[in-house]
Structure 1
Amino acid sequence: MPEVHQIDIHHVAKLARLSLTDDEAKRYESQLDGILTYIDTLTRYNLDGVEPTAHAMPVFDVLRADEARPGFTQEQALSNAPKRTADQFQISKVIE
């Protein structure tokens, strides 16, 4: 039989600095109870010797070797710049 969780959703909302309508509180209370019930289900399994993982399957990054190679000169990098100032890109002011 599933365990019934007593959740004070208004207290949880206050801790999260959220204001909830009564409809939202009912919906979130039900969702949170479902999450806690699922966690209860997971705690029934014996996981001794099982290493924690972030993914169900191993994840590997496939990267090429980091090799130095020629890049742009400063003049080439700035060749398409609409505006330049002292050999730098000039952009519009974004912070006042």
Structure 2
Amino acid sequence: MPGEITTEQVAHLAQLARIAADEQELAQLSQDLGKILGAVARVQEIATDEVPATSHPIPLSNVYREDVPVPTLTQEEALSGAPEAAEGKFAVPQILGEE
């Protein structure tokens, strides 16, 4: 059966990954990994060349709006709501202790 994996193989993988596992955990992981390998083998049996690979079950398309230039704020308008401004820029408290 293609989905079979032994506890020895799982123990070897656990050792390589530096994962501590007792015999009961190794047995459970062996069963779980066997089920995963079986599922992958089943999908490979079903997959055919006539069916293209997809990343999503339904076709997707991005919806973009037209890039239309619009008037922007002037520097004075942008700074009008700022608590503090200096030399045409936003003034903020110093946080790094630099001058």
Query: Quick check: TM above 0.5?
Result: yes
Deviates more, 1:85-94 or 1:4-13: 85-94
Highest relative contact order (Cα 8 Å, sep 6+), 1 or 2? 2
| Aligned CA distance change for structure 1 residues 20 and 79 (closer, same or farther; 3 Å) | farther
Aligned residues: 90
Q: CA separation in 2, counterparts of 1:24 and 1:93?
A: 52
| Aligned CA distance change for structure 1 residues 50 and 72 (closer, same or farther; 3 Å) | same
* TM-score under structure 1 length normalisation: 0.59
Q: Any conservation in 2 of the 1:2–1:37 contact (CA below 8 Å)?
A: yes
Higher helix share: 2
* TM-score under structure 2 length normalisation: 0.58
Q: What letter corresponds to residue 80 of structure 1 in structure 2?
A: G
Can you give the 5+ residue segments of structure 1 that lack an aligned partner in the other structure? none
Query: What residue number does 2:46 align with?
Result: 45
Query: What residue number does 1:65 align with?
Result: 66
Q: CA separation in 2, counterparts of 1:81 and 1:20?
A: 58
Larger Rg: 2
Q: What letter corresponds to residue 53 of structure 1 in structure 2?
A: T
